[in-house]
């Protein structure tokens, strides 16, 4: 007799579930997240120029409908992100970076082993929506997952953004459940080592990598004493490293809390060859609500 082995992912398989089927027939399935991060006071520098002791608030809101179609699962929604820095008026950096974008994508199966995601986020990536900064941009990404087995998957992908210094940027990682309660989820931009304390509580340690391009307003440079930064493109990037917990409160709501350190931060006006990088790090705390239904 062939032994039958049912893993959770195998069981969690299928187009044929009574539970989700009846629910999905009434509503379009969706996933959402609301995330707020506070980073304590830190500094950046550019040669002898220092911008000191400013804090950061990062707010992220995302709602994506995920209806099932013949080709796979559509991803249709929007996302909003705002970085607010506690900078002084004379600082040569933007106090607020904001983006609002649609999310248009699809997850589809190429074979029993390969899943592919195509997704674009067309929108405005601006300096506080000020005049001249509301320029449309449409970064997109293509990623693939190779499912070796339910416990091991390989991820490769490429991100494309014409406003970026290097417009095409590769990425990838591995998701490996190497013990029943341990998962190495080393996939960018949030590589993690996860421990499933119980069905509803996961502890993790890992990092979050962020990089987004924003357009400055028409007079940003003149207002901040560096005229060539008028209408410039800023690549803002940061890395956070820490630990957190993810508590599944209900089937549609999870609470995520995380704390750690921000070891890397970079404001790069790369076309103007002006770059401010971290000069002292700071602790951070994050709380998020997320889920799917």
Partner 1 sequence: MANELQLSREEAAKWKGGNGALSGAGGDFWIGVLAGRARAFSSGGTAAQPSYDHAGPAVRPGDELNGLLREQAKIRKQFAGLLDGTGIGRGAGSLKPDLYWELLNADDVAVATLGASYSRNSGGNVQAADTFYYASGGYYVTLTLHQMWPVDVNGKPHTLIWRGDMVSSASLADLHGVEKLGSESAMMKDIAKSIALFRRESAH
Interface residues toward partner 1, by CB under 8 A: 2, 4-23, 29, 31, 66, 72-73, 75, 107-109, 111-115, 117, 145, 147, 149-150, 153, 180, 251, 292-293
Cβ-count burial of 140 within 10 angstroms (0-12 exposed, 13-18 middle, 19+ buried)? middle
**Nearest to partner 1 of 14, 273 (CB atom):** 14
**Nearest to partner 1 of 162, 249 (CB atom):** 249
CB 113, min distance to partner 1, A: 6
**Nearest to partner 1 of 20, 43 (CB atom):** 20
Query: H or E segment at 263?
Result: strand 253-269
- C-alpha distances in angstroms, 270 versus 97, 167, 233? 17, 12, 7
**Nearest to partner 1 of 11, 162 (CB atom):** 11
- Residue 142 DSSP code: E
Q: How far apart are CA 4 and CA 193, in angstroms?
A: 29
CB 168, min distance to partner 1, A: 23
Q: Which residues contact 48 (CB under 8 A, 6 or more apart)?
A: none
Token output for 123: 């929108």
**Nearest to partner 1 of 80, 293 (CB atom):** 293
**Nearest to partner 1 of 10, 257 (CB atom):** 10
**Nearest to partner 1 of 6, 129 (CB atom):** 6
- C-alpha distances in angstroms, 119 versus 85, 167, 173? 29, 16, 18
CB 15, min distance to partner 1, A: 6
CB 141, min distance to partner 1, A: 13
Q: How far apart are CA 28 and CA 24, in angstroms?
A: 6
Q: How far apart are CA 202 and CA 174, in angstroms?
A: 19
Among 142, 185, 134, CA closest to 161: 142
CB 34, min distance to partner 1, A: 17
CB 36, min distance to partner 1, A: 23
Q: How far is CA 111 from the centre of its chain?
A: 27
CB 8, min distance to partner 1, A: 4
- Residue 293 DSSP code: -
């Amino acid at each position: 007799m062939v032994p039958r082995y049912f893993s959770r992912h195998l069981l969690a398989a299928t187009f044929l579930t009574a539970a989700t089927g009846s629910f999905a027939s009434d509503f379009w399935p969706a996933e959402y997240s609301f995330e707020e991060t506070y980073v304590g006071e830190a500094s950046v520098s550019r040669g002898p120029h220092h911008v000191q002791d400013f804090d950061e608030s990062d707010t992220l809101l995302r709602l994506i409908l995920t209806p099932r179609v013949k080709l796979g699962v559509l991803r249709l929604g929007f996302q909003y992100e705002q970085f607010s820095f506690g900078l002084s008026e004379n600082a040569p950096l933007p106090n607020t970076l904001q983006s609002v974008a649609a999310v248009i994508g699809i997850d589809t199966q190429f074979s029993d082993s390969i899943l592919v995601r195509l997704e674009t986020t067309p929108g405005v990536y601006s300096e506080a929506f000020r005049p001249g900064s509301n320029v449309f941009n449409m970064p997109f990404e293509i990623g693939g997952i190779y499912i070796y087995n339910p416990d091991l998957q390989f991820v490769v992908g490429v991100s494309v953004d014409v406003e970026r210094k290097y417009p095409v940027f590769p990425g990838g990682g591995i998701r490996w459940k190497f013990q029943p309660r341990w998962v190495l989820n080393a996939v960018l931009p949030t590589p993690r080592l996860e421990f499933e304390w119980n069905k509803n509580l996961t502890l993790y340690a890992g990092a979050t990598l962020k990089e987004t391009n924003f357009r400055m307003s028409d007079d940003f440079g003149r207002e901040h004493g560096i005229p060539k930064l008028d209408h410039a493109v800023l690549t803002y990037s940061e890395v956070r490293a820490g630990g957190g917990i993810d508590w599944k409160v209900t089937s549609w709501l999870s609470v995520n809390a995380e704390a750690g350190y921000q070891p890397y931060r970079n404001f790069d006006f790369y076309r103007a060859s002006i770059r401010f990088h971290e000069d002292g790090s700071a602790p951070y705390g994050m709380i998020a609500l997320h889920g799917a239904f």
